[in-house]
């Protein structure tokens, strides 16, 4: 697997070093993928965003109501379908779930970036590979303070990306 080398929005009120954000592209979002990501990485007892439960009802359980849809609409920019949830993770600084404009999902984890860039990138490479295996993701990437891609074009941008693995499938 070939690799080439941003933490999302701040949800904690503490001074911190920069975060290294690790993301994988999941070509087709599904309740199973979201459920597995939540079960594996999200601190469900204290998710850090009240809209998490609406997301879970809409995208995992399929039992949404009007209030749930309205809560998720708050996350959307303008009239687009893409949105991102920044959540507390169990074993990482934060977990990130993005519903993209084009039917995919971008799943991410943020870790504190140490002063040793080579060690941080080695850990990021391992985490990308782990997430790719776990979610059958064709591509992954990582960078310091890297926002999640909301579509294929943003995924392909090079700004802030320090590591890349795999390639997106041809649409």
Compute φ and ψ for 132, nearest 5 degrees: -60, -45
Domain of residue 131: give its range. Answer: 3-166
Under 8 Å between Cβ of 6 and 147: yes
Count of CB atoms situated within 10 Å of the CB of 142: 31
Average pLDDT, the chain: 87
112 found inside a domain: yes
Q: Is residue 15 part of a domain?
A: yes
Using one digit for the tens of pLDDT, what is the confidence trace for 10-24? 333 444 568 899 999
* Count of domains observed in the chain: 1
Q: Is-contact 155 139, C-beta < 8 A?
A: yes
What percentage of the chain exceeds 70 in pLDDT? 89
The pLDDT value recorded for residue 17 is 63
Q: Please state the pTM of the whole predicted model.
A: 0.86
Per-residue model confidence as pLDDT tens digits over 44-71 = 999 999 999 999 999 999 998 888 888 8
List CB contacts of 32: < 8 A, sequence separation 6 or more: none
pLDDT given for residue 117 in this prediction? 79
How far is 29 from 98, CA to CA, in rounded Å? 10
Cβ-count burial 96-126 (b if 16+ within 10 Å, e if not)? bbbbbbeebbbbbbbbebeeeeeebbebbbe
Residue 23 belongs to some domain of the structure = yes
Q: What's the pLDDT at 38?
A: 98
Domain membership of residue 171 (yes or no) is: no
Say if residue 87's pLDDT is above 90: yes
Report the pLDDT value the prediction gives residue 15, as an integer from 0 to 100.
45
């Amino acid at each position: 697997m070939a690799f080439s080398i941003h933490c999302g929005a701040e949800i904690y009120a503490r001074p911190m070093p920069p975060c290294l954000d690790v993301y994988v592209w999941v070509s087709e979002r599904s309740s199973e993928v979201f459920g597995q990501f939540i079960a594996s990485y999200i601190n469900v007892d204290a998710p850090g965003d009240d809209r998490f439960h609406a997301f879970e009802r809409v995208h995992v359980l399929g039992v949404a109501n009007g209030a749930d849809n309205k809560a998720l609409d708050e996350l959307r920019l303008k009239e687009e379908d893409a949105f991102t949830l920044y959540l507390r993770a169990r074993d990482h600084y934060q977990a990130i779930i993005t519903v993209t404009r084009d039917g995919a999902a971008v799943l991410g984890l943020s870790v504190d970036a140490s002063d040793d860039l080579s060690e941080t990138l080695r850990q990021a490479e391992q985490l990308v590979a782990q997430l790719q295996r776990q979610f059958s993701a064709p591509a992954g990437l990582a960078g310091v303070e890297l926002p999640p891609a909301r579509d294929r074009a943003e995924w392909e941008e090079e700004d802030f990306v320090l590591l890349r693995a795999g390639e997106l499938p041809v649409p």
